[in-house]
Structure 1
Amino acid sequence: MVLIYFWVNNATCSSNSGPCQFISRACYIFRCLLSPQFKLSSTQDVYVCNVKIGALSRAGKIEAARQLFDEMPTKDVVTWNAIVTGYRKNGILENQETVRLMPARNVVSWNSMIAGCFENEMVDEAFRYFRSMPERNIASWNAMISGYVKYDRLEEASRLFEEMPRRNVISYTAMIDGYAKKGDLERARDF
C-alpha cells in the first residue's frame, strides 16, 4: 500500500516529507494497537476496537482478536465483519457459526462468507449464501464466478456470468482464464 502511494504520487521519502511522517505515525499506531498494554475499557471507541481486531487478525493472532471481540460492550456490523474475515483469513471454519450469530449483515459480510466457503472447498455452501443475499454487488458476482472457475465448474460460472446485471474486467478475466485452462480456447476467445 505504501509503495503504491509513492508510485502513484511520484513521492520521495525524506525524514521531513509528509508521506514519511504519515507512514511513521501509522506504524506507531499499529504497534500501539498490537501491544499487550492496549486494554479494552468500556469507554473505548468501537472504531478503535474494530481496527485492532483487523490488525490482530492480519497478524495471525485470531485468538486475541476473538477475545477483544467477546469483551467489546458494543459491536457494529464492521466489528462482526472484522472477526468473520479474520477467521476466514486464518483458515478457521468457525466463522460459519459466527456469521449465523450476526445480528445484522451487509454485502461485505455475505461476500466474506462466500470467499470463506470457496477457500474451504465448500462450493455448494457458497452458492447457498449467494442466493440468500438480500442484495449483491459486482464483487459478489465475481466471487462466485471466480470460485466456480477455481473448482472447474465452468457451466455454473457461465450461467452466473450471463445473469450478471453488470460485468467488469474481473468477470471477463475469470471466464477467459477458466476456459483457457480447460483448453477451450475458442470459448475463451468469445469473451
Structure 2
Amino acid sequence: MYVHMHKEGIFPNNYTYPFVLKSLSDLKELKLGKSVHTHVVKWGYVCDIYVQNSLLNLYASCGEIEFCQQVFDEMPQRDVVSWTVLIMGYRDCGKFDDALVVFEKMRDSGVAPNRVTMVNALSACANCGALDMGVLIHDEIRRSGWEMDVILGTSLIDMYGKCGKIEHGFWVFQEMKHRNVYTWNAVIRGLALAKSGEEAVRWFFIMERENVKPDEVTLVAVLCACAYSGMAEQGREIFSWLMNEKYGFPPGVKHYACMVDLLARSRHLEDALRMITEMPMEPTKSVWGALLAGCRLHGNQELSEFAAWKLIGLAPRNSAYYVVLANLYGEMGRWNDAEKIRALMKERGLSKDFGSSSVELEDQKDLLELLR
C-alpha cells in the first residue's frame, strides 16, 4: 500500500509512517525498514516522536540494538514509550545489564515508567539475577498503588523465583486477584530452581485442583523439580501421564531431557540410555549432558565416554566436552587416547583449558535453560 501511494503521487505524512513501520517491525523486514527510514529523513519527519518511536521499535524487533540506540540518542525528546522500547530491545538481545542501565537512566531523567516498562525491567532482572534492582522495582510498584494484575504479578514472581527468593514470590501470588497458567508456572519453576521438589509437586497438584490446565512449560518445571530433588518415582509417574496425553500434548525434547536427568541422577543409567534411544526426536545437548553428568556422578566410565562423544558431535567447538573426555581417559589409564583428544583440540583450534575438568557447570547451564 505504501509503495502504491508513491506510485499514485500521494505523499506520506507523520501519520503514515508509524503504521508502515509497525508492519515492517512485525514482519522483521529490516532492509525495507531502513529504506523507509531514509524516506522519513527525506520528508522531514525525523523529529516526530511517534515516527521515531516506531523506528526504535523496528530496530529493536529486528535485533539491531546499535541502530536502535543511535536513533534514541538522536531524538530531541523522549517519552515513556521511547525508553521502554530501548529497554525491551536490550532485553530481547540478551543484554540484560544494559537494559537495567537504560532503566536507571530513565528514572534519573524524570520520565515515569509504566507497567510495560516495569515488566521488561523485571524480565532483565530475572535473567541476570539482579535481585536488588528487582526489589526496588517492586517497591516502586507498591508506591505507585498499581493493582497487581496478571502480567505484572507473574513478572514479579518470575523475577523472585529466578533470583532464588521464591518465598517473596508467594507474597505476590497471594496479592493477585487473577492468575493464569503462566503465573502458576512461575511459582513451580521458582520452586524447581530452589530444588524444593516436594513443594513444586504440591503446587502442581494444587494447580490442577484449581482447574488450571498445565502446559508444556508446567511439565518441564515439575519434572525438573523432581530431578533436582531425587524424586524418581514421582517423576516417572508424572511423565507416564504425559505419555498418555493426560494434558493434551505429547512429551517434547525438554521433557525427555528432564527425565534423562532424573533417571541418571538416581542411578538408573541404563533406563536413561534406553529413554534416549526410544525418543521420537533427535537428542539435544541437554539430553546427552544430563546422561554424562549422571554417569560421571556414579562412576560409569563406559557410558560417560559414549555420552561425551555424542556431545562433541553436537557441539564440536565446545572445549568443555573434550576436557571431560581427556580426563576420563586419564582416569581409565588410556593415556594414548587422552593425548589424541588433546591433539584433536589443537587441530580444531580449541583452548587447552584443562583446569576446568568438569562438565557439571555446562550441564547445569543447559538444564537451567530448560526452565527459562
Alignment counterpart, residue 136 of structure 1, candidates 236, 242, 251:
251
1:113 aligns with 2:222: yes
1:76 aligns with 2:194: no
Q: Give 1:132 shift.
A: 1.0
Between 1 and 2, higher relative CO (CA 8 Å, sep ≥ 6) is seen in 1
* Structure 2: tracts of 5 or more residues without a match: 1-63, 74-85, 91-96, 108-117, 123-132, 311-372
Letter in 2 for 1:157: A
Aligned to 2:155: 51
* 1:98–1:41 Cα change, 3 Å: farther
Asked if structure 2 preserves the Cα contact closer than 8 Å seen for 1:40 and 1:68, the reply is no
Provide Cα deviations, 1:19-52, integer angstroms capped at 9, x if missing partner: 5763324567443433275279784431111110
Asked if structure 2 preserves the Cα contact closer than 8 Å seen for 1:53 and 1:83, the reply is yes
Percent identity over the alignment is: 19
TM-score scaled by structure 2?
0.42
Alignment counterpart, residue 97 of structure 1, candidates 180, 185, 202:
202
Q: Which moved more, 1:172-181 or 1:139-148?
A: 172-181
1:127 aligns with 2:232: no
Alignment counterpart, residue 270 of structure 2, candidates 124, 132, 155:
155
Equivalences for residues 161-176 of structure 1 within 5 A: 161-166=276-281, 167-176=283-292
Letter in 1 for 2:257: N
* Structure 1 segments (4+ residues) deviating >6 Å: 39-42
Return the alpha-carbon distance in structure 2 between the equivalents of residues 184 and 73 of structure 1. Answer: 54
Q: Secondary structure at the match of 1:156?
A: helix
* 1:88–1:36 Cα change, 3 Å: farther
Q: Which moved more, 1:74-83 or 1:57-66?
A: 57-66
Provide Cα deviations, 1:102-140, integer angstroms capped at 9, x if missing partner: 121011111111111111111111111111113211000
1:35 aligns with 2:139: yes
* Structure 1: tracts of 5 or more residues without a match: 1-8
Provide Cα deviations, 1:36-91, integer angstroms capped at 9, x if missing partner: 75279784431111110111223333332112112211111000000111222223
Asked if structure 1 preserves the Cα contact closer than 8 Å seen for 2:157 and 2:187, the reply is yes
Asked if structure 2 preserves the Cα contact closer than 8 Å seen for 1:50 and 1:82, the reply is yes
Return the alpha-carbon distance in structure 2 between the equivalents of residues 120 and 159 of structure 1. Answer: 22
Return the alpha-carbon distance in structure 2 between the equivalents of residues 40 and 137 of structure 1. Answer: 42
Return the alpha-carbon distance in structure 1 between the equivalents of residues 304 and 188 of structure 2. Answer: 40
Q: Which moved more, 1:85-94 or 1:63-72?
A: 85-94
Q: Give 1:100 shift.
A: 0.5
Return the alpha-carbon distance in structure 1 between the equivalents of residues 304 and 267 of structure 2. Answer: 17
Letter in 1 for 2:101: S
Asked if structure 1 preserves the Cα contact closer than 8 Å seen for 2:149 and 2:177, the reply is no
> Which has the larger Rg?
2
Q: Which moved more, 1:45-54 or 1:57-66?
A: 57-66
Asked if structure 2 preserves the Cα contact closer than 8 Å seen for 1:179 and 1:188, the reply is no
Letter in 1 for 2:190: G
Q: Secondary structure at the match of 1:88?
A: helix
Q: Which moved more, 1:31-40 or 1:148-157?
A: 31-40
Alignment counterpart, residue 87 of structure 1, candidates 191, 196, 202:
191
Asked if structure 2 preserves the Cα contact closer than 8 Å seen for 1:142 and 1:171, the reply is yes
1:188 aligns with 2:309: no
Q: Secondary structure at the match of 1:141?
A: helix
Alignment counterpart, residue 60 of structure 1, candidates 164, 185, 188:
164
Q: Secondary structure at the match of 2:142?
A: coil
Return the alpha-carbon distance in structure 1 between the equivalents of residues 163 and 220 of structure 2. Answer: 22
Return the alpha-carbon distance in structure 2 between the equivalents of residues 112 and 40 of structure 1. Answer: 32
State the Cα RMSD in Å: 3.5
Aligned to 1:4: none
* 1:173–1:61 Cα change, 3 Å: closer
